[in-house]
């Protein structure tokens, strides 16, 4: 009876584990379906390590079972003591050499991949982006193109895009599981990596280093589009006139309120690099507010009225004059029409 219960409990444990782990495989947020070079290299390493581990477990279990069966106490042998042996050179050599071989099998591809993924010798000829991690959002500054943007990182497909990572406050970690490995963004030094996406699409990124109360809400997106669309997007972003007048009266009033309520002190529109808060040049083209929230007017109004409730500990809360609901609504109208480009996360395929 007890044995049966034990088995049942193990089964229950494993099936609940499976249920919990299945949540990890969200589409475009999984290292197990690589859509880019770094993720593919990483997955290969995962598979090699797993294969070696499974091999070791199988061999140990098989030898263990064989010994159990072969040398178990048989009837009529209750007082029998087998011949005692000590030391066996051949065995000692075998179980020293085999692990060394297994470690070499893991080490050679790992070290090769590490150098491969750190190779920035071709960075000069490609796109270079300074990435800054901030509590709790990401800023992207395109060096040659002189474009500033936040939250959504646009890249062309099949191109190695080189990133220089830094942090403006604490340590963050840049991770887009389905296209790259992760890399820390430190306050003191710059870390570099490159990312490459094979297919057009929207890939989810996460901060992978505990950085404060809203760490788990520090999401971002990589928007991979065709090289032609990317060029188009760059032109659209460069052509933005930060002072352009919106069409509707409500948005026009929103624009005024935006300038009068110190929003402009923290949020740039256009390519000015000021970056206490996210750059809002293409805010209307995004699919999320503050990286994670639904992108609709109601959420924006809620955000403006009470940001701390939606993202605890964020650096905007309490640092601007209190707004009425009407003012917030007008500002939302203004922000939503900041749509400089036809190239948006929605046009990039999945979402
Ligand atoms: C003290 C600087 C500061 C001021 C002033 C400020 N903000 Fe912010 N704002 C931020 C920061 C920082 C964030 C990012 C919060 C986060 O995600 O952790 C943010 C986020 C936002 C977002 C979401 C941006 C995105 O990329 O999705 C909007 C919209 C916004 N602010 C609008 C405003 C408006 C409108 C005002 C003026 C009423 C304003 N902010 C005033 C710092 C500021
Ligand atoms: Cu972080």
pLDDT in tens, 188-232: 999 999 999 999 999 999 999 999 999 999 999 999 999 999 999
Residue whose tokens read 């939250």: 151
Contacts 24+ apart (CB under 8 A), 252-257: 252/334, 253/330, 253/334, 254/330, 254/331, 254/332, 254/333, 254/334, 254/335, 255/334, 257/323, 257/327, 257/330, 257/331, 257/334
CB of 275 within 6 A of ligand 1: the answer is: no
Distances (CA, A) of 190 to 38, 185, 186: 19, 7, 7
**2 pLDDT band (50/70/90 cuts)?**
low
Of 77-86, 155-164, 182-191, which range is least confident?
A: 77-86
Nearest CA residue ID for atom 34, ligand 1? 263
Task: Supply the pLDDT for residue 81.
Answer: 84
In short, whether 54's Cβ falls inside 6 Å of ligand 1 is no
Question: Nearest C-alpha to atom 17 of ligand 1 is from which residue?
Answer: 290
Integer Cα distance of 196 and 39 in angstroms: 9
pLDDT of amino acid 1: 47
Q: Tell which residue, 324, 149, 306, has the closest CA to residue 253.
A: 324
Q: Which CATH fold topology does 249-348 show?
A: Immunoglobulin-like (2.60.40)
Residue 82 CA to ligand 2 centre (angstroms): 62
H or E stretch covering 58: helix 37-70
Distance of CA 213 from the midpoint of ligand 2 (Å): 10
Least confident residue range of 72-86, 119-133, 134-148, 162-176: 72-86
pTM above threshold 0.85: yes
pLDDT digits (tens, 9 = 90+) for 282-295: 999 999 999 999 99
42 in ligand 1 pocket by Cβ < 6 Å?
Answer: no
Q: Write out the E strands in 98-187.
A: 127-134, 137-142, 147-150, 152-156, 161-167, 172-175, 182-185
Q: How far is the CA of 280 from the centre of ligand 1 (A)?
A: 9
Secondary element (H or E) of residue 115: helix 89-117
Q: Can you give the pLDDT at residue 200?
A: 95
Residue ID of nearest Cα to ligand 1 atom 36: 263
- Beta bridge mates, 222: 153, 203
Residue 24 has what pLDDT?
56
- Average pLDDT for residues 1-16, to the nearest whole number? 70
Q: Which of 168, 221, 277, 303 to mutate to test the pocket of ligand 1 (most atoms within 8 A of CB)?
A: 277
Q: For 281, how many CA atoms within 13 A lie in the half-sphere containing its CB?
A: 29
**What is the average per-residue pLDDT within 158-165?**
96
Ligand 2 centroid from CA 171, angstroms: 7
What is the per-residue pLDDT across 94-149, written as a single tens digit (0 to 9) for each?
999 999 999 999 999 999 999 999 999 999 999 999 999 999 999 999 999 999 99
Which pLDDT value is given to residue 20?
65
Distance, CA of 202 to CA of 36 (rounded, Å): 12
For the CA of 132, the nearest ligand? 2
Predicted local confidence at residue 303, as pLDDT: 97
Task: Report the residue among 133, 207, 267, 317 best suited for mutation to probe ligand 1: largest number of ligand atoms under 8 A from its CB.
Answer: 267
Distance (Å, whole) CA 93 – CA 88: 9
**Which ligand is in closest contact with the Cα of 220?**
1
Helix (H, G, I), strand (E, B) or coil at 201: strand
- Identify the band that residue 75 occupies on the pLDDT scale cut at 50, 70 and 90: confident
Atom of ligand 1 nearest to the CA of 323: 38
331 Cβ closer than 6 Å to some ligand 1 atom:
yes
pLDDT at 25 over 70: no
Q: Which segment of 7-21, 62-76, 175-189, 302-316 scores lowest on mean pLDDT?
A: 7-21
Task: Round to whole Å and give the CA distance between 168 and 137.
Answer: 11
Note the pLDDT of residue 351.
Answer: 45
**Residue pLDDT, tens place only, 298-343:** 999 999 999 999 999 999 999 999 999 999 999 999 999 999 999 9
CB 138 less than 6 A from any atom of ligand 1: no
Q: What is the CA(315)–ligand 2 centre distance, in A?
A: 13
Rounded distance from Cα 138 to ligand 1 centre (Å): 13
pLDDT tens figures, 229-279: 999 999 999 999 999 999 999 999 999 999 999 999 999 999 887 679 999
216 alpha carbon – ligand 1 mean position (Å): 18
Angle 144-283-24 (CA atoms, 0-180°, nearest 5)?
A: 90
Contacts (Cβ under 8 Å, ≥6 apart) of 286: 151, 152, 295, 344, 345
Q: What are the Cα distances from residue 14, in Å, to 24, 46, 49, 204, 206?
A: 16, 21, 22, 28, 27
Cis? peptide before 136, omega within 30° of 0 = yes
User: Any idea how long the chain is?
Assistant: 351
Of the pLDDT bands very low, low, confident and very high (cuts 50, 70, 90), residue 5 is low
Dist CA 230 CA 105 (whole Å): 40
Query: Which letter does DSSP use for residue 36 in this model?
Result: B
Determine the Cα angle at 33 with ends 129 and 351, to 5°.
70
The two three-digit tokens of residue 1, written as one number? 């009876």
């Amino acid at each position: 009876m007890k044995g049966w219960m034990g088995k049942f409990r193990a089964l229950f444990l494993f099936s609940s584990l499976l249920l919990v782990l299945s949540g990890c495989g969200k589409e475009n947020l999984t290292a197990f379906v690589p859509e880019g070079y770094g993720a593919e290299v990483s997955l290969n390493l995962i598979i090699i390590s797993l294969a070696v581990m499974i091999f070791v477990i199988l061999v140990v279990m098989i030898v263990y079972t064989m010994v159990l069966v072969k040398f178990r106490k048989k009837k009529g042998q209750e007082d029998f003591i087998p011949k005692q042996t000590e030391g066996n050179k051949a065995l000692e050599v075998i179980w020293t050499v085999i692990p060394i071989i297994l470690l070499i099998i893991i080490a050679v591809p790992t070290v090769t991949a590490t150098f491969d993924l750190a190779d920035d010798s071709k960075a000069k000829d490609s796109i270079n982006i300074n990435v800054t991690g901030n509590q709790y959002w990401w800023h992207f500054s395109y060096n040659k193109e002189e474009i500033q943007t936040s939250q959504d990182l646009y890249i062309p497909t099949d191109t190695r895009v080189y990133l220089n990572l830094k942090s403006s406050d604490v340590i963050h970690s840049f991770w887009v599981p389905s296209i790259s490995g992760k890399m820390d963004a430190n306050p003191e030094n710059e870390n570099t990596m490159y990312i490459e996406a094979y297919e057009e699409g929207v890939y989810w990124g996460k901060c992978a280093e505990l950085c404060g109360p809203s760490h788990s809400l520090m999401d971002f997106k990589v928007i991979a589009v065709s090289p032609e669309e990317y060029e188009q997007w760059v032109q659209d972003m460069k052509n933005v006139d930060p002072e352009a007048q919106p069409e509707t009266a409500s948005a026009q009033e929103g624009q005024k309120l935006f300038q009068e309520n110190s929003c402009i002190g923290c949020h740039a529109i256009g390519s000015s690099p000021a970056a206490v808060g996210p750059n809002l040049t293409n805010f209307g083209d995004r699919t999320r507010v503050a990286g994670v929230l639904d992108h609709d007017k109601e959420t924006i109004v809620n955000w403006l009225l009470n940001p701390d409730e939606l993202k605890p500990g964020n650096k905007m809360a309490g640092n601007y004059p209190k707004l009425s609901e009407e003012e917030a609504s007008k500002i939302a109208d203004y922000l939503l029409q900041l749509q400089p480009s036809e190239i948006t996360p929605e046009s990039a395929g999945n979402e």
